Structure 1
Amino acid sequence: MAQRHRIPGQLSRGQSILRGIVLAIGAVLFLFPFYYMVIGSLQAAPDTSLGGIFPSPGNITVENYANINERINLFSGLVNSGIFTGGVLLGTTVFGLLVGYALAVLEWRGRGVIFALALLVQVVPFQLLMIPLYVMIARDYGLGDTHLGMILPFAINSTAVIIFRQYFLQVPKELFDAARIDGAGEFRLLWQVAIPLVRPALLTVILLTFIGPWNEFLWPFLITKEASLQPLAVSLANFISNVASSTSNPFGAMLAGAVVLAAPVIVLFIVFQRYFVSTDIGSGVKG
């Protein structure tokens, strides 16, 4: 009987089983907090015992969602979070693409200094800039209690600039030279040649940027005083601080708000996670 040779780097059957078991355990440990959050939000009476992980059907209710919605209006909070996050996404994507393209593709004096400054911004904590930003936006520009006042400090993201620059550097320069020979201007070249080839970077920036403003609390809390303008993260924090104790099940109501806040992020990642590992850069050049 011929002996079967294993391909170098290929796992044996036992190793594959062991890897599957380890990955399954890791997945369970990672997903358990989300499961517990959903289950806790559906419990009529909080059950902190071990049996509460699998509650009885009689203890399941959606009353917690109704209770928190009566106090902070979940839909209004979601709309404000969507406006805030959408504005940040728009600014981050547009400015990130333009600056990243200019730093990677165009030849101009001082681009190395600008890139170094973009790297330097990474080490400056936002909390250090918060007070002067508040004074400038709220007092000088008069944008307190406005969506624009929330969006402006996050409209340009140096992380997005760096990501786009690195992706544009991987695009073969022959593609840009060929497009210029055909008469394409820089904006047309960016739109029709560069952006389709760095689609994974575009989606990565959108996903990473989405999580930040969607969960942002401190700046929207500082710049907005009107409850009708506050994102859901701020409304939920105010609920926990001020009125949670007045509900019949504050634990369940807080978890219900957390579920509503986390759901869009989870759905977005599930839908687009496959794009993290895809790339089309090599498809534009023949070997």
Structure 2
Amino acid sequence: MRRRRGISPAGGIVRNIVLALGAIAFLFPFYYMFIGSLQTEPDPTVAGAFPNPGNLTTQNYADINERINLFQGLLNSGIFTGGVILCTVVFGVLAGYSLAVLQWRGREATFALALLVQVVPFQLLMIPLYVMIARDYGLADTHLGMILPFAINSSAVIIFRQYFIQVPKELFEAARIDGAGELALLWRIALPLVRPAMLTVILLTFIGPWNEFLWPFLITKEASMQPLAVSLANYISNVAATASNPFGATLAGAFVLAVPAVTLFIVFQRYFTSTNLGSGVKG
């Protein structure tokens, strides 16, 4: 028998060095943002990444919190993002299961339409959506008005469909013989096997509404309803020039906005793995 070749010690060292350099390159902007948010006197040069400890303060966070309510902005961002994720997962699972498992007329045409939606830019629909949601539905300055345009994500539908297609059909046939309905099949068989798809959809969906600016900016006029991304942009445009350290205060707000997204991806990055769906059927 041939012995499997493993990675040589030298190759392992090189790989670890490359991975370490990649991690440093990825985390350095985030680190620079954090250090800049703590500086009393702004230093936008590369040397500012290694500041004098005497030049560090938390006053920038207090300054920006006086102008915009960081907690309220984070809460609005969380409600907006959470609502979008919930709708995306629920509608994506139902539509993906229907397109992959159920047999009905027009299924392929519907899937083709879901693919076609991918090429339509959201900016093209923004004005009609604003007229419909703000004027016709009266949902301006509401969380529901922010969530509705993003409630159904065609990318999530496609992802779930592709995962459901990989689920062995023998599992569904055996459960149907036992008298299980479609909802029971979806809940007890399909969903546990496509958990990586659900985590992937949640993580990929999160970053969009969390950083979304243009639509919340259009649909909300009340400062108490605006997500943090909108509040921070308004601060930079209208108030930052009057701050004692606008550079540090802006970085403080950006750091608060970035922390949840970076933390989420660091914690859940190991779940970006595929699963052996065929293991559910014994040979």
1:14 aligned residue: 10
Match of 1:167 among 146, 163, 168: 163
The amino acid of 2:165's aligned partner reads L
SS in 2 for 1:225: coil
Cα separation, 2, equivalents of 1:158 and 1:239? 34
Aligned to 2:130: 134
1:75 to 71, 77, 95: 71
After TM superposition, the structure 1 stretch with the greater mean CA deviation from structure 2, 229-238 or 56-65, is 56-65
Q: How does 1:49-128 map to 2 (within 5 A)?
A: 49-128=45-124
Q: Does 1:269 align with 2:265?
A: yes
Change (3 A) 1:54 1:178: same
Q: Shift of residue 278 of structure 1?
A: 4.6
Compared CA separation, residues 75 and 6, structure 1 to 2 (3 A): farther
Distance 1:159 1:137, change over 3 A: same
Distance across 2 between alignment mates of 1:8 and 1:245 = 64
Which of 149, 153, 175 is 1:153 aligned to?
A: 149
Residue of structure 2 in register with 1:259 after alignment:
255
- How far apart are 1:110 and its partner, in Å? 0.8
Match of 2:182 among 186, 196, 204: 186
Name structure 2 gaps, 5 residues minimum: none
1:208 equivalent in structure 2: 204
1:148 offset after TM fit, Å?
0.7
State how far apart, in whole Å, the 2-side matches of 1:190 and 1:257 are: 42
RMSD: 1.5
Helix, strand or coil at the partner of 1:33: helix
Residue in structure 2 matched with residue 40 of structure 1 by the alignment: 36
Letter in 1 for 2:219: I
Aligned to 1:220: 216
Query: Cα deviations across residues 44-92 of structure 1 (Å, max 9, x unaligned)?
Result: 1112333321112111111111111111100000111111111101110
2:155 is paired with a residue whose SS is helix
Partner of 2:19: 23
CA distance in 1, matches of 2:211, 2:31: 19
- Give the whole-Å Cα distance in 2 for the aligned partners of 1:250 and 1:103: 51
Distance 1:207 1:110 in 2: 31
- The normalised TM-score by structure 2 is 0.96
> How far, CA to CA, are the matches of 1:53 and 1:10 in structure 2?
39
Q: How does 1:221-236 map to 2 (within 5 A)?
A: 221-236=217-232
- Tell me how many residue pairs correspond in the alignment: 283
Would the aligned equivalents of 1:91 and 1:155 in 2 still touch at CA under 8 Å? Answer: yes
Bigger drift between 262-271 and 75-84 goes to 262-271
2:170 partner letter: E
Aligned-pair identity (%): 77
Q: 2:277 aligns with which of 257, 274, 281?
A: 281
Give unpaired runs (5+ residues) of structure 1: none
